[in-house]
Amino acid sequence: MSAHDPLFDFTARTVLVTGGSRGLGRETVRAFAARGANTIIVSRRLDRCEEVAGEIEAMGRRAWPIACNVSDWSEIDALVYKVRDRVGSIDILVNNAGASPLAPSSIETSEALFDKVLGLNFKGPFRLIALLGAEMAAGRGGAIVNVSSLGAIRPLPVYAPYAGAKAALNAITEAFARELAPNVRVNAVMPGRFLTDISHAWSDEVRENRTVALERSGLPREIVTAILYLASDASSFTTGSVIRVDGGAP
């Protein structure tokens, strides 16, 4: 696929990706840029955003690095203002930022950890969709893709708050699909286990992921393909959907 592929041509479109400086977010930014898009790279560390922006500009695309803690509504409000001021408007929002810190047990889960997990994985995406989605709906429309997790429907005790946050993200995907229709489509990708930089700390058994039908973990590009589809005109009759990309998890 390239910028000339009619199914995945994002030429002249602007994409904002949260958590865009590393892992799946970075792969997503690069994939959109390779297919013609200009990109806004958002994460907490500006230096990492700038590093990715340099890669994108070397590809001949425009890129804007912006630092933002997307679990903080005041920082999200500032982010939206910066986007208006520097870029104007966006066509695609990818809510990718997230984290799943583990806790020894539910009773040992602190309030600070609980609030942090829900803030990053649920509260932040809600606010971003509310603000940017409203602007997209009032303008030329667009697409929003939320990155959920298989944990939303296959929760484990060690990451129960994360699973709950992702389940809530699935719920608001459908709610916003109705609220922002017909000009803005809102969908979600629900990945299973896939290999990014954080997977280097996993055990061999976890990395191998033999319990799924395909008997392996996924690669970031295999998740990105689903994101590209939901952001593209090829999915023009798809909204409010949550697509599993998990290798056939039981």
C-alpha 141/C-alpha 231 separation (Å) is 12
Distances in whole angstroms, Cα of residue 44 to Cα of each of 19, 152, 224: 8, 25, 22
Q: Give Cβ neighbours of residue 6 (< 8 Å, ≥ 6 apart).
A: none
For 38-55, the DSSP string reads: EEEEEES-HHHHHHHHHH
Q: Is 162 a catalytic residue?
A: yes
Q: Which of 81, 159, 162, 229 is catalytic?
A: 162
Q: What letter would DSSP give residue 158?
A: G
* Token pair 């920082």: residue: 75
Three-state DSSP state, 61: coil
C-alpha 248/C-alpha 250 separation (Å) is 6
Name the residues annotated as catalytic: 162
